[in-house]
Amino acid sequence: MKQNSKIYVAGRNGLVGSAILRRLEKGGFTNVVSSDIDDFDLTDPRATDEFFSAEKPEHVFLAAARVGGIVDNDTFPADFIRINLQIQTNIIDASHRHQVDRLLFLGSSCIYPRLAPQPLREEYLLTGPLEQTNDAYSIAKIAGIIMCQSYNRQHGTRFTSAMPTNLYGPGDNFDLATSHVMPAMIRRLHEAKLAGAPVVTMWGTGEPKREFLYVDDLADALIFLIDNFKPTRELSFLNVGTGSDLTVRELAEKIRSIVGYTGKIEWDTSKPDGTPQKLLDVTRLSALGWKAEHSLTAGIEKTYNWYRDQSPGIGGQGRP
């Protein structure tokens, strides 16, 4: 991408979309357009096409999606598959018809089979059954990968996909009903500190292992990929992660020391643990020359500072 290339970021206010916009600004890209649902609905093919006709982007980051936690996915599977298929189809097809040079589609590590060996390598795609609680979402993401690959084969486009691990950072969702593990822990420990609570209860045994990537590092990787990764029929997407994980218990202890909570952490083992480990193999991305800049501690510190500035009291949602 050149500094004056017309770049479109779909999903401006999202965790990922807002990080891509920060990274593009930092990198001196001056011709950037973005949209969110308040501008127009990307499930509407006509509105999407009108936007591409008017803006004529050269490069596209597809970070708009219906995203949610496990309960949300399990409760609204029809919404997850319909909305994601519609958004992807509309943007990918409009990108082809309006001669977009490069497109980057955001997938997720849930594309991999539930019982795939760890760490998860790109070639494990479509080798076994998916986790049932979010299979509608996963199938939509797999369709996006195959759609990009198919347009490349049939139309000679250069559409790529990235599969990030668990993300966190400024702009994350801290609503305890729908948030992921990292923001939920930050909020619980912060509020316990403010309230002087002697004990905080976390879900599960704390034993599962998870990998986390700071969202600004993801944005950096996406720009790196759009420039440096040439998708082929054999390999049209890459994993994006740090390559290392830790137990949820270790994560809680790390957040506790950053937040400065001095009480006790208890584990409610009646609550589900989820899959024992989820770690991406990032050998291919590393071989291209990219690695994450933020340590987990540095990333959590930045995220916590952001959250504290947004929601200094008890009960804040964390999103401005």
Ligand X SMILES: NC(=O)c1ccc[n+]([C@@H]2O[C@H](COP(=O)([O-])OP(=O)(O)OC[C@H]3O[C@@H](n4cnc5c(N)ncnc54)[C@H](OP(=O)(O)O)[C@@H]3O)[C@@H](O)[C@H]2O)c1
> What is the set of active-site residues?
137
Tell me the window of 58-66, 69-77, 247-255, 270-278 that interacts with ligand X (CB under 6 A).
58-66
Q: Is 255 in the site for ligand X (CB under 6 A)?
A: no
Question: In angstroms, what is the minimal distance from the CB of 15 to ligand X?
Answer: 4
**Residues from 22 through 41 that contact ligand X (CB under 6 A):** 36-37, 41
Q: What are the structure tokens assigned to 84, written together?
A: 């994601």
Question: In angstroms, what is the minimal distance from the CB of 238 to ligand X?
Answer: 13
Instruction: Specify the residue, 130 or 192, whose C-beta has the smaller distance to ligand X.
Output: 130
Q: Is 164 in the site for ligand X (CB under 6 A)?
A: yes
Q: What are the structure tokens assigned to 225, written together?
A: 């990929």
Question: In angstroms, what is the minimal distance from the CB of 294 to ligand X?
Answer: 15
If one counts every other C-beta atom within 10 angstroms of the C-beta of residue 76, the result is: 16
Q: Is 15 in the site for ligand X (CB under 6 A)?
A: yes
Q: Is 66 in the site for ligand X (CB under 6 A)?
A: yes
Exactly one of 11, 206, 231, 241 binds ligand X (CB under 6 A); which one? 11
Tell me the window of 150-158, 162-170, 185-193, 296-304 that interacts with ligand X (CB under 6 A).
162-170
**Residues from 181 through 210 that contact ligand X (CB under 6 A):** none
* SS3 per residue for the chain: CCCCCCEEEECCCCHHHHHHHHHHHHCCCCCEEEECCCCCCCCCHHHHHHHHHHHCCCEEEECCCCCCCHHHHHHCHHHHHHHHHHHHHHHHHHHHHCCCCEEEEECCHHHCCCCCCCCECHHHCCCCCCCHHHHHHHHHHHHHHHHHHHHHHHHCCEEEEEEECEEECCCCCCCCCCCCHHHHHHHHHHHHHHHCCCEEEEECCCCCEECEEEHHHHHHHHHHHHHHCCCCCCCCEEEECCCCCEEHHHHHHHHHHHHCCCCEEEEECCCCCCCCEECECCHHHHHHCCCCCCCHHHHHHHHHHHHHHHCCCCCCCCCC
Q: Is 177 in the site for ligand X (CB under 6 A)?
A: no
Instruction: Specify the residue, 119 or 164, whose C-beta has the smaller distance to ligand X.
Output: 164
Question: In angstroms, what is the minimal distance from the CB of 230 to ligand X?
Answer: 22
> Residue of minimal CB distance from ligand X?
14
Q: What are the structure tokens assigned to 99, written together?
A: 């001669």
Q: Is 310 in the site for ligand X (CB under 6 A)?
A: no
Question: In angstroms, what is the minimal distance from the CB of 68 to ligand X?
Answer: 8
Residue 117 Cα to chain centre, angstroms: 22
Q: Is 13 in the site for ligand X (CB under 6 A)?
A: yes
Question: In angstroms, what is the minimal distance from the CB of 169 to ligand X?
Answer: 9
Exactly one of 9, 20, 32, 64 binds ligand X (CB under 6 A); which one? 64
Site residues for ligand X per CB under 6 A = 11-17, 36-37, 41-43, 63-67, 83, 87, 106, 108, 164, 166-167, 180
